[in-house]
Each structure stands twice: as structure tokens, then as C-alpha cells.
Structure 1
Amino acid sequence: MSRSDEGRAGRGGIGRFFTLKKLLGAFFTVCLLGMLGFVGLYLVVDVPEGNADATRQSNVYKYADGSQITHTGSVNREIVGLDRIPKDVQRTFVAAENKTFYTDGGIDLKGTARGLINTVSGKGKQGGSTITQQYVKNYYLTSDQTVSRKVKELVIALKVDQRMSKDDILAGYINTSYYGRGAHGIQAAAQSYYGVDADDLTVSQGAYLAALLQAPSQYDWAVASDRGKQLVKERWRYVLNNMVDQGWLDKATAAEQKFPVPDEPKPAPGLAGQKGYLVNAANNALRKQLMAEGASAEEAQTSVEAGGWTMTLNIDKKKQRELERSVDSSLNDKLDPKARKVDARVQTGAASVDPRNGKVLALYGGRDYIEHQLSNATRRDYQVASTFKPLILASALENKATTQDGRPVTAGTIYDGTSERPLEGSPTPYAPPNEDDVDYGPVTVQKAMNKSINSVFAQMGVDVGMDKVMKTAGDLGMDVEGLEAVPAQTLGSMGASPLEMAGVYATFANHGKLVTPAVLKSAENRDRTVDLPKAVGEQVIKRSTADSVTSVLTGVVDDGTGAAVRNPAQDVAGKTGTSDDNKSAWFTGFTPKLVTSVGLFGEDMEKKGQQVSLYGAAGGGRVNGGGFPAQIWADYTFDVMGTPASFDLDTDMGAGVAPPPEPDPSTPPEPEESTPVEPSTPAEPSDEPTSEEPTDPEPSDEPTGGPSIPEPPEESPPGPELPTIEPGAPGEEE
């Protein structure tokens, strides 16, 4: 065989394998197999359950004006519907990522093929996916760059596009995407980059956020290199131009847009300072309401912790800041824990309520939630002391009580103010001492309230009937369940919180209509909006009763232990209180528009929160309700109260109308009062025993303790300036 014949034979042999017909047949066979394989995958691969992390949300907490307090949760995301995203902002994402989104079938075969080739060849991240595909990757799959994941993405995207509306897919994409700065979803991104809600984004800002998705770290203006800034501006302009091409934005309007430089990054909002206390108060209010609607305690807790709630509080941002400032300037700045051990044991709580609508406008839970998680504004473990006395008077007036000799109890009724006088008509022997064991002799109820005379109100409680007193307290909003109706309760030996006491006094200020302090203004998530109860309820005591108590309480300020809050331009009513062994000190007071309760509590954190005395705090002596608590109250209230207002009272008794008559001169005179101790010379605590239990019937056991300091002069003429009571000033009641 010749060489030429051999060449022809070789070519013929190879040609038999690579004829055009066979190549086309092989190609179509591969395509057919691919199609059959894809159909098989389409039938086998179903749309999986969504990735929980892709929709995990934080709870968002806002002030009453809508500005954000903080958010909680492991993922900074708040899912919002398209109805909360302006239409032109929605379109910026379509213009940036997938101009054919509204008309395509959910996949981009050319882009997907390019992505597969890039993945197989190791050229890095694929590109060209549709919005539907990116949503599938975010919500159903992972970011793994593998061929199998890309094929699954294609199949699932086709099915998702058939099952979901384009709006739902777009919303899912916008809410599951990561924008940098720890922000997941458009709402978190809007807050992080521009300090606004998604509702308020402009088209220019939307175009920047849409541009970010291509490279969040590289395109964040705050940290971008010069090249990164150039690229993101080009990408931003590309988005706007695409909107013009699609007919979604006028060309002239697009040309007028200026690059919206984002805000500087802010530290992640945490729970430090007062934020943690506000978050807990909101969570507790939401849990309580969910349980009222039928959820179990566990179900309510799980619902709150699951995230996705937007809770708007009634907290007024300005008043909140002023309350914090007042506590700092009036007390915290004067404490020196390094120099005085007792100063490290001072805890302050306060709550401020609008009595007209029940809104909680400000809360102070402690110096820092990170250091002390238990909120002093809502804790109920410290005695309320003499802030309970107005409730006894309210019960006497409401029940038309009479004294042991048949005289009606009014502001002008004369009682015996002798210290340690055994109670008449009491089923339980009891002889309470007055503060510093002062004997007042015959005094009016008005003066007894002004000077907070224990013996008078203990006897009044017996005259009314302690069961009726405790019922009235419950009607006014105090939690008295399980408390014994015994005379010792008249000295405020039960526990209550500043928020609870603010609600009780708000009921007085609101003319007897029950005020239940409301922390929450609204609570909603994607699935529901919670219907919150009304904060102002029914008439629980007669208006004349509430107004009479208010009138009497103005005397405490004008001529009594609350003189530190006296203001010639503003009507003020209130009551001081100092508990057993000076472990707590209170001032709860109100104007017609604002009720605030301030409590100081002695707590030794080194001994598991043991209650201890406040004596000697800030370098003074006894810490009285008319001292630091009243000073904080006045500093805060007179700064935020606005235009002065007068009480509108329906009453014919009390200091608010006219001073009650003094006792007949023929009755024994009051004992001569002692000379007060100078504030610079704090008195030593007495060794008098104190009662351990409020129900102890032995007359010899004193229910209230404290250092033996004489009472200050009874008269304290008003002046144009608010008087200042030093921290060790004497004369406060138990």
C-alpha cells in the first residue's frame, strides 16, 4: 500500500468518528440529556423552607415622636412591606440589579451560564443573577459558590416566580439583603446610613442603597477608598440612568439629583444608660397585653423574643433627657462612692405620667442598665412610707368615715397627734410613734398631713376600717393582693414602685378617674397590631374625694415637709415619705398636667441586693423625702412643665381652698418644738428598735425608725425662690 493510500485510510478512520452529522447528534443528545436532567431536577427539587436567619428580626423601640431608642436581637433587621417603601425607591433596586424583573420568568440563563463558568474556572463570584435568583439565594439557600447550589438556585427561582407575585419577591429581596454596617434589610439600612425610616427615603438615597448591594464594604462612603467612592458614585448614577431608560424617572429630575452622602456610622444602639430599662418596660407591657388577649405566659414571652416587633413608647424624648439630667445634677453628681461606702448603695427610681391620658412620659431606672438590671422605676420591694397617707384620707372621705366620737372626717377634723398614743377601737393593739417621737397634741387633719403625723393617720385608718382602706388603695391602682388589713399598714409598710405610685397620684390629679400608667403607645409586627387598653378608666372615687385629697396635699407643699417644691407660679400637690431605718425616701407630687414619683432606695449589691440605710449619703445625715427626692422632682418638673396651670378642684376643704380652723384655744397647746440641728452637723442614728414585720401587734415595737433629730420650725414662709433642703435636713416623717 502506498503512502498516499495509508493517509487516506487514516483520515477516513478518524473522519468516521467526527462527521458533522455525528457532532450535531452528540450536541443534541447532550442538550436533550441536559433538558431531561433539568426536568428531573425540576420535579425532584422543591422549594425548601425559608432560612430562619434570612428573616430573623430585631425588636425596634421608638420614642413617642418616632425617633429610635434602640433595637435588640442578634440581627439588625426590621422587615417592612412594599407599602412602606416609596415606589421610586423600589424601582432603584430593579434598575440596579434586574431591569427586566417585571417581565422575565425569574431566571437569566446567560447570566447563570456566565456564573457557572466563573465558578468552575475559579474566577470568583458569579454575576448576572435576577432579583428572583438573588432572593432565592438569600432566603432559601446559602452564599456557597458551587455548581450544585447554582443549579438549585435556577430551579427554585423558576418555581418561586410562578408561585409568588413580583411585589412579594421584590419585598423579600429588599428585606433579606445585607447593606453593610450590620444592617440587614432596607429599614435597618435607611436608619444606619441616613437616620430615617424606609418610608422617608428619597430616590437619590434609594439609589445609593441599591448601589451598595454590589459591594457593601467597598461602597460604604464612610470607609471607602478614593477609588471606592468613585465607583459607588458611578454605580449610583448608573442606577438613576437606568430608571430614566425604563421611564421611571424624568431625565431632568435625574440630572438634578445630587449624590446623597450618608451619615457617619454610629455605635450600635445598645442597652446602656436608661435604654435597657425602657426596653424592659416596653417588653413587659407587651407581654402583659398578649396574655390579656389569651396567650400563656410562655407564648407571650416567646412572641416578644422572636423579634419583629416595632414598639413605640409614650416616652417623651425631651422629658426623658431632663429627668436623667435632674437626677444627675440633684443627686448623682454629689455622690462619691470611693469616699463614702453608702454612696455606692444609693439607687434612684422615678416615673413621670400625664394624668390626663395616662402616658408614661419619662422613666429613670438607675444609673446604668448594664450595671444594675433591676429597674428602680418598676421595682416594688421598698416601703412607700408616708406617701400612703393620702390614700387613707381618700378612703375616709369616700366612705364618709367618722371619728371614734362620731365626728365626720374632713380636712378640718381634730385628732390627737400625741406620739405613741394607743389606738382607740383597734382590734389589734398598736401605738405608733411620730417621727423623732414628737408630740403634736390636738391637730387638724390638714396639719397632720402637712407634718406627716403617724399617730393621726393610724387612728384614721382604724376609724375608716382597715379593710376599707386597703380596698380604696386597690381601687386607686395599688397592688394590695395578699396584704393584711392591719393598722401598721397606715405607715406605708407595703411595697410599691415609683410607677405604681405615680399612677395612684395621677388618679387624684384626674379627679378620681383611674389612671393606669401606659408605657406603650403602639406595638406591631408584620402579622398584627396589638390593641392596647385605655390608660384612663372609670371613676373609682368621687371627684369631690379626689379633689379634696389634692387640695390637702397642696398644704404639704405650702406649709409642710414638701416645702422644697414650693413654687409661687405653679400649683403643686405632693407627699413625702421616709421608710423604716431610712431604707427608702420618696417624693410623689403633681401639677395639673404632670405627676412624678421619685424614690431613693438603699441597696447593698455586694449582699445580693440587701436593703440598707441611706443615712449619710452625699455626706449628710438622714435622707428624707423632702431632700433629694423633692429636689429631683422640682428640678425636673419646673423645667418641663410649660405654662403654669392651676388646679380645678371641686371641694370645700383643704389648703387649696382655705386653711382649716386651728384647734380651740381651750384645748391643750401643742408641745414647744425643738431647735433644729444644723445641716452641717448630721445627727447620729438612734438606737430605737424598729419593727421587722408590719403586722406586729405589740405597741412597744416601733414601726418606723431613724435618727433622733428634732423637727424643724413649723412655719416656713414662702419666697420667690425655691428653698433648698440639704441632704441631712431634719423634720422628715416616717
Structure 2
Amino acid sequence: MVSQSRTISSGSHRSAHASRHAGAPSNGPAQRRRSGARHGSHRAGGSRGTRRPNNRKKRSILKRVLIAIGILFAAGIVTGIGAFAYLYITTEIPQADKIALSQKTTVYYADGTTEIGSFAEQNREIISCTDLPDYVGKAIVASEDRTFYTNKGIDLKGIARALVNNITTGSRQGGSTITQQYAERYYLGETTSYLGKAHEAILALKLAQAQDKNEILCNYMNTIYLGRGAYGIQAAAQAYFNKDAKDLTLQQAAMIAGIIPSPSSWDPAVNSAMATQRMKRVLNIMQEDGYITAAEHKKAATLPDTIEYSPSNVFSGYNGYLLTTVENELINSGTFTKDDIETGGYKIVTTLDKDMQSEIQTVGDTRPDGMPSSIQVGGIAVDPRDGTVKAMYAGSDYLTNQYNNATQANFQPGSTMKPFALLGAAQEGVNFNTLFNGNSHQHFAGVENDVSNALELNWGYINLYQATANSVNTVFMDVNEHLTPQRTAKIAHEAGIESDIDETSPYNVLGINASTVWDLAQGHSTIAANGVKNTLHVVSNVTDYKGTEVYKVTAANERVFDANDCALVQKAMQGTTVNGTATGVAATLGRAVAGKSGTANDETAASFVGYVPQLLNVWAIWNPDENGSPQVVPEFSGYGVSSTGYPAHLFTEFMSQALANSEVIAFPTATDDGKIGGPDGTWGLGSGYASGSGTSGNSGNSNNSGSSGNSGSNGNQSDQQTESDKQNQEDTSGDGQSSGGSGSGSGSGSGSNGSGNGSGSGNGSGSGSGSGGSDSDNGSGSGNGSDSGGSSDTGGGASGGTSGNVN
């Protein structure tokens, strides 16, 4: 290295001397400075001779790096092309993404046209584009992809532009062709990754080859989000203009198409200036591309008016209760899943009557002054002939309280369970004129404490008609003892009651087990339909988006009870609304009405079930505390806890409206072929004791002595007599033959609705009378003794009849 350095240095000096000898001007100090610099460099070891090899080395390294980069770049291109080719070969057009096909399911009232609400993951209604005006599709093409009809599914310039944007800004921007957007929304779901975009582009190429342009455009129009919660052109037409897409005008179509890139921000209600600008852009392109004429452009140049948009929850108010009841019924049918309902685009027609629903809601929502806010109300109206639910009061606002007071809330139904035991007595062949001890403070087998009636009233010896009308506990405890609690529970379940009933408790006839409004309606509707059971339902039929019926409910018409047995129960229940615990209801409605009241044993709830042949209505009130535990229902606005009050009032209010101008249908005629005292003569007072009157009993007290007593009885006729009423009158006219007996007795009974007196002696004789109206009916019996009775009634007058020893 030293020798080499010297040689280079010597050469440097020779060069300097040669320059001077060539006549180059000498700069003196400057020249010396340059020379000194060179020598200084030499001393520092930085001569030109040492730099040249290093530069060549650097250039050699750079060259190799560039070659390597080039090779890698080329390899990347080859790999990319290979990967693209592989993806293209292996990519198949998949099944459409489920969410892209999801449609709004709409629920309607029974008329099939009035909408209740809808279920939707996305608010979409898929339509056939053949019904759309041509300019609707052309407006979207003008807005989103002018080359749509000529490109092969992708736009290379658009992809390059998006790639540059992604690199320079760090954002993610995809291709812009309609086919690419269609591929993303319809098949893949949203994606912003490079691999996802590559997949999207490949799929777009394949779609362009496999599908017709019109098919692609139609599917795109049914898929794209267009603002206001609307997916697809049909939902958008409804959201902006409250019309179907097939009825859109050119300017309306251009407005919707124009705001596609940012529908929420460019909604005319939010930014009318931008909406106008975008609409005009679409119209300009449509004219330039020959889709519309200049005249059409000019005519459509004004931004169209849109309807007011206020996002609302379809479950608000009482709609939420109706919708969830519909959904639950369909899911429980096993035909639909929740996902099916929310994405299937079905049309569900319910059994609900729009007017009745409005009426029941008004009645249930109206709260008298002083009614505690804690008191809950539930109600339902059904047609017992086919099980269709016509109206339901489940609460005032679903968004405030999702608990359905008609289908979910439990309360003690009280005496509304008694008709099931009464039906059992009819099945056993017990004549309803059999006398029972209706006094309070009686002891029954399996019961620790004595049983009493409401207000501890003593009703004396009364028949089953009277006991039903006045809801006499001790009589029905006696009936249940003969029938057995298991049998009473079985009958209730056969009628359709699904709630648990204690089959071992003698008290089950008094309604000690919790039930629901829906359950009571189901059970009583079977009796009201003369023993034919039809499962209650709110759905009538379901059709898919193509209009094909996929589900339909038909009446089962399952015979579970004898028709005449049920007619006897109906007859007894009619006394309730004439002069029983719901006195005056029949007179108010101007027709015969069967009814039964109920009060929870601890006065925490009250209920009423009533019906005419074509409509049954149930109401209940209960009073839970803040933890849901039952509390006593306090007196309010003149209504006590007694079931004679508020539930019957709700029934009358609703039925007055629901039955207005409706046909008066007579109850079926009942024939009581049962035996006094039952088939074995052990029911009630036994086979030797019968009432000579028919349908309902006193509301007062009676005192009795001896082997036979007497009771005042009430007729079951109203001013408007039906065939059923005439039958009731016939039943009040002395039903037995008196015969001798070994004992004698006398008694008297009186009440607010009538009075009756009678006596019996050795051979047995008796008479009775009652007054209360202009209509009269007399009958007589003969035997070893005699029996006579009379009845008269005008809208609830009293009738009297004797009781004596009867063979």
C-alpha cells in the first residue's frame, strides 16, 4: 500500500509540473492552496486514487440490489397473475348472501289491507323489475356506472384510481361498477381488504358473463341501501314518497338514484341543496346518454317533495303486543323460525278486527279517577265458534312494559272456574233443580276450615241455577266433593285451560290456581261453542313474497263435550247477568248474555267472563306491588274488589260497542234430563228435594227449618225474550211432583229480587209465588202432593217457587 501510494503521489506532481510548463497562469497563493489541499488530502489518506475503487463497489452493490428488486417485482407480477388466475379458475358464483335476500315481513289486520306492523332485519321488499318504468333503472345507471351496459363487470381505471387512493391516503376505496357493488352486496357482504376486493372483482367478471345485465341491475336495485332505513327501490319509494316503485316519476327516480353514494347525508330533508345537485347530475347524464329527451329533463328538473320522515318503532303502543303474539304463535307452530319471520318477506293476515282492537284498547286504557296506577288490566275478545281472537288488551305501551297482560300475566281467576264443575254435574246426570245447602260456615272433607260465601251470606236451600247466578261457594264446594277435584281439573283442561290446576285441592273449584286471561277465554269458549273446542289463534294465513299461501289456520271443531250439557251451563250462566253478580248486564246489552264473575280468595284480583254465541269477552284486574307480588285491590271510584264491579263494567263497555248493530243470536235450548239428587240420589239434599223454579236465586238471606225449605227464585228473562228465555220461563213453572214425606217443615225466604214462601207436610204440598213484572208463566205438578209456582219478570223481575218432598 505504501509503494502504491507513492506512485500515485508522484504522478500527481508530474501532472502539476506539466500544467505549469504548458503556460497555465499561476495564481500564486491560490495555486498553492490547491496544491496544499491536494497534499493535505494526501496526508489524510483521501486521494482520488483511493475513492475510485469504493465508488465502483457501491455502484456494483446498487446494481445488484436493483436487479434483485426487478427480479422480485417480476416474480411478484408473475405470482400476482398466477394468484389471480388461480382465484378466477377456482371462484364460483356462490349462493346469494342471506341478508341481501332478507325482506320485511308485514302483519295485517283481518281485512288484509290495514297494517299493524312489520318484522325486519332490513326494511326490504323484493319486487319484479319488469313492472318498473324504464327510467328508474336508467337513472341508477346514470348515477353509478355509465358504462354498465358495455363493461365486462369491472372498470380497470376505477380499480387503479382506488389503488392509488388507498396507497396515498391510507383509506380503503373499492371499485365503482354496478356489477362490483352487486357482487359485494348480493354475494359477499361488505369488504375493504385487498384480497376481498380481488375476490369481488373476479366475481364481478364472472357475473357479467353468467347473468344478463337486466338481471344484475334488478338485483342491485333490490339490494342497495337508499336511506331512511330502506333497502331496495321499493322500500325507498315508500320511505320517500309513500308509493310503490312502479309509480315513481322521473324526477323521483332521479332523486333517489342521485343520493346513492351518501343517502343519509343527502336526504332532501337533511340537505336539499345537495339532493338537488345530485338529481340534476343524474338527469344531465340521462339526457347526454340518450335515456331522456331535453323536454323530459326540463320537466323533471325540480326537486320533488318527500314525505316527512320520523324514525319510529313499530313496537310502540299496543302494536308491540300484537306483533309479538303473532310471532310467538308462528314460531310455536313449528312452521317458522324467528329468522324466517324477520327475513322472509311474508304477508301475515291476522284474525284481529281493527275496530274491535281500537275499542278494547280505549276501554282498557280508560282509568276512572282514583284508580291506583299499580292496578293492571287485561282483556281479550274471541269468536268461540272458530277460535279467532278478535281483539286483545295486553297493556298500553309495549315499549314501556313488555309483559303481556292478556297472555302472560297470572292471577287467581276465582269463581270463573265454577262453570267447569257445573259442566261436570251435567255430565253426571244431575238435574240443575236439585237443591243444595247454600249457607255459609259449612265443613267439607279434606278442608281444615269451614267454608263461607262472599260476605258470609246464607242462601238457604237453592238449586244450581241460583247458585251459579249468585256464585255461592258452599254449593260448588259440595258439587266438587261429589265430582272430585281431579275430575273438575280434567274438565277444565279438556276445555283448553293450560294453566296448572291442583287436582288434589277441594278449593280448585274456587279458582285458587293462577291463570291468564287467554286461558280463561280458551276454556270458556269451548263451553260457549256448545262443546266444540277450537284453539284460540291470532294468525289467519301467511303468504310468501310471491303471493303463494304457505300457512293457513282452519277451525279444528273438536267435539269434547256434549252440546246439551254445555247448553245447560250457558243457561245457568245467563242468570248471572239478569239478577246475579252482574245484574243489569243483559238489560244494558239488550240481549241474553251468559256470564260468570270471579274474585281471588285474598281479594288481590277480580275477573269476569261473558259471552253471546258469536263473541266472548274476558276482563281481569289485579294489583301487584313493585316486586310483582299480589296486593289487595282497593276500592276506587265506587268499585270495590268484588267482581260484581269493575271487570263487569269493562265487559259491558266493550260489548256495547262490539255488538252494536250486530245480529241477536239466541242461545241453544237446553233440556235438563238429569235426575234430582243425581243418578244415585246423593247430590245436594238428595233425590227427595227439588226446586220448582228455574234459573237464578235470591240475593237475600233465607232461614229454613224442618226437612224442606223454600227459596225465592229469579226468572231469567229480559224484556227482549228469545227462545232461550221462553225455555227459562218454562223451567220456572213447577218442576216436580210432591209426594208424602215423613216430616214437615216450613220456611220463608226473601231477597231484593223477589220472595217465595212454601210449606210441606205429611203427604207433602207446597206453593210459591213471586212477582216482579208483567210477563208471567204458571205451571203445576201432581202426585201425592201438589206443587205450583209462578214467575214473572221484566228485565230481571223475581219469581217464586216451592220446594217439597219429591219422589
Shift of 1:72: 5.4
Match of 1:317 among 345, 354, 358: 354
> C-alpha displacement at 1:131, in angstroms?
2.6
Query: How do 1:228-307 residues align onto structure 2 when only pairs under 5 Å count?
Result: 228-231=274-277, 233-234=279-280, 245=291, 261-290=305-334
Q: Deviations over 1:429-475 (max 9, x none)?
A: 77531110101112232222221111222222334444333222112
Displacement after TM superposition at 1:266 (Å): 2.8
| Aligned equivalent of 1:499 | 518
Change (3 A) 1:261 1:314: farther
Q: Which of 653, 661, 664 is residue 635 of structure 1 equivalent to? A: 653
How far 1:585 moved relative to its partner? Answer: 0.8
Partner of 2:7: none
Report if aligned partners of 1:352, 1:362 keep a CA contact under 8 Å in 2: yes
- Contact in 1 for aligned 2:639/2:645 (Cα 8 Å): no
Contact 2:139/2:253, CA 8 A, preserved across alignment: no
1:645 aligns with 2:663: yes
Shift of 1:113: 5.4
Task: Work out the CA distance in 2 between the residues paired with 1:82 and 1:443.
Answer: 69
Structure 1 residue 182 corresponds to structure 2 residue 236: no
Partner of 2:41: none
User: Would you say the 8 A contact 1:217–1:224 is kept in 2?
Assistant: no
SS in 2 for 1:577: strand
Structure with more of its chain in strand, by fraction: 2
Distance 2:480 2:303 in 1: 72
Paired position in structure 1 for 2:179: 132
Q: Which residue of 2 aligns with 1:604?
A: 625
Indicate if the aligned counterparts of 2:103 and 2:342 stay in contact, CA closer than 8 A.
no
Matched, 1:413 2:434: yes
Which of 454, 457, 464 lines up with 1:435 in the alignment? Answer: 454
CA contact (8 A) 1:548 1:649 kept: no
Letter paired with 2:631: V
Higher Rg of the two aligned structures: 2
User: What residue number does 1:379 align with?
Assistant: 408
Q: Aligned in 2, Cα 1:358/1:35: closer, same or farther, shift over 3 Å?
A: same
Which residue of structure 1 lines up, in the alignment, with residue 267 of structure 2?
220
CA distance in 2, matches of 1:164, 1:184: 22
Provide the C-alpha distance between the structure 1 equivalents of 2:559 and 2:288, rounded to a whole number of angstroms.
Answer: 63
Which residue in the other structure is 1:546 paired with? 566
Q: What per-residue deviation string (whole Å, max 9, x for no partner) do you get for residues 602-633 of structure 1?
A: 1112x3x11111123x3556323232212222
Q: Which has the higher contact order (CA 8 A, sep 6+)?
A: 1
Question: Any stretches of 5+ residues in structure 2 without a counterpart?
Answer: 1-73, 672-694, 696-715, 717-723, 739-744, 754-791, 797-807
Question: What are the superposed Cα offsets for residues 393-427 of structure 1, whole Å, 9 maximum, x if unpaired?
Answer: 22222x1433xxxxxx23x433321123345xx67
Give the distance between the partners of 1:129 and 1:153, measured in 2 at CA: 11
Q: CA separation of 1:478/1:516 partners in 2, compared to 1, >3 Å: closer, same or farther?
A: same
Q: Which range is displaced more, 303-312 or 279-288?
A: 303-312
Contact 2:543–2:551 (Cα < 8 Å) also in 1: no
**Residue 519 (structure 1) aligns with:** 538
TM-score (norm 2): 0.65
Change (3 A) 1:200 1:498: farther
Count of residues in Structure 1 that have an aligned counterpart in Structure 2: 617
Q: 1:209 to 1:256 in 2, by over 3 A?
A: closer
Preserved CA contact (<8 Å) 1:114 1:127? no
- Paired letter, 1:133: Q
Q: Is 2:479 the counterpart of 1:460?
A: yes
Contact 1:192–1:266 (8 Å) recurs in 2: no
1:334 equivalent among 369, 376, 392: 369
Taking a change above 3 Å as real, the CA distance of residues 193 and 668 of structure 1, as seen in their structure-2 partners, is farther
Q: Contact 2:521 / 2:609 at 8 angstroms: preserved in 1?
A: yes
Give the residue type in structure 2 aligned to 1:556. T
Deviation at residue 265 of structure 1 after TM alignment: 1.0
2:398 and 2:199 map into 1 onto residues whose CA distance is 47
The match for 1:661 is: 732
Q: Which residue of the other structure, out of 657, 664, 670, is the alignment partner of 2:749?
A: 670
CA–CA separation in structure 2 for the residues paired with 1:72 and 1:44: 38
Structure 1 gaps of 5+ residues are: 1-27, 337-342, 403-408, 675-714, 720-734
Report the secondary structure of 1:668's partner residue. Answer: strand
CA distance in 2, matches of 1:360, 1:258: 49
Local SS of the residue matching 2:577: helix
CA gap of 1:263–1:359, structure 2 versus 1, over 3 A, is: farther
1:102 Cα deviation (Å)? Answer: 7.1
- Aligned to 2:418, the other structure's residue is in SS state helix
How many Å separate the matches in 2 of 1:243 and 1:494?
76
Q: Secondary structure at the match of 1:349?
A: strand
For 2:412 and 2:551, how far apart are their aligned partners in 1?
34
Cα distance in structure 1, aligned partners of 2:637 and 2:472: 27
Deviation, structure 1 residue 484? 0.9
Contact 1:360–1:518 (Cα < 8 Å) also in 2: yes
What is the deviation of 1:579?
A: 1.0
Change (3 A) 1:532 1:178: same
Tell me if structure 1 keeps the 8 A contact 2:239–2:309.
yes
Whole-Å separation in 1 of the counterparts to 2:246 and 2:404: 34
Distance 1:435 1:387 in 2: 14
Q: Taking structure 1 as reference, are residues 122 and 543 closer, same or farther at Cα in structure 2, changes over 3 Å only?
A: same
User: C-alpha displacement at 1:348, in angstroms?
Assistant: 0.8
Distance 1:204 1:475, change over 3 A: farther
Q: In the superposition, relative to structure 1, how do residues 230 and 91 fare at CA in structure 2: closer, same or farther (>3 Å)?
A: closer
1:622 maps to which of 640, 644, 661:
640
CA drift of 1:568 comes to 4.8
Q: Distance in 2 between matches of 1:516 and 1:207?
A: 52
Task: Give 1:325's aligned amino acid.
Answer: T
Corresponding residue for residue 707 of structure 1: none
Q: Which moved more, 1:594-603 or 1:185-194?
A: 185-194
Q: Distance in 2 between matches of 1:261 and 1:228?
A: 15
Residues 107 and 348 in structure 2, CA contact (< 8 A), matched pair in contact too? yes
d(CA) in 1 for partners of 2:285, 2:476: 76
2:156 corresponds to 1:77: no
Change (3 A) 1:234 1:574: farther
Deviates more, 1:42-51 or 1:371-380: 42-51
> In the TM superposition, what are the counterparts of 1:105-116 in structure 2 within 5 Å?
105-109=152-156, 112=159
Q: Which residue of 1 aligns with 2:18?
A: none
In the alignment, is residue 349 of structure 1 matched against residue 378 of structure 2?
Answer: yes
Alpha-carbon offset, residue 485 of structure 1: 4.7
Q: 1:572 aligns with which of 587, 593, 612?
A: 593
- Tell whether the 8 Å contact from 1:439 to 1:670 is kept in structure 2 after alignment: no
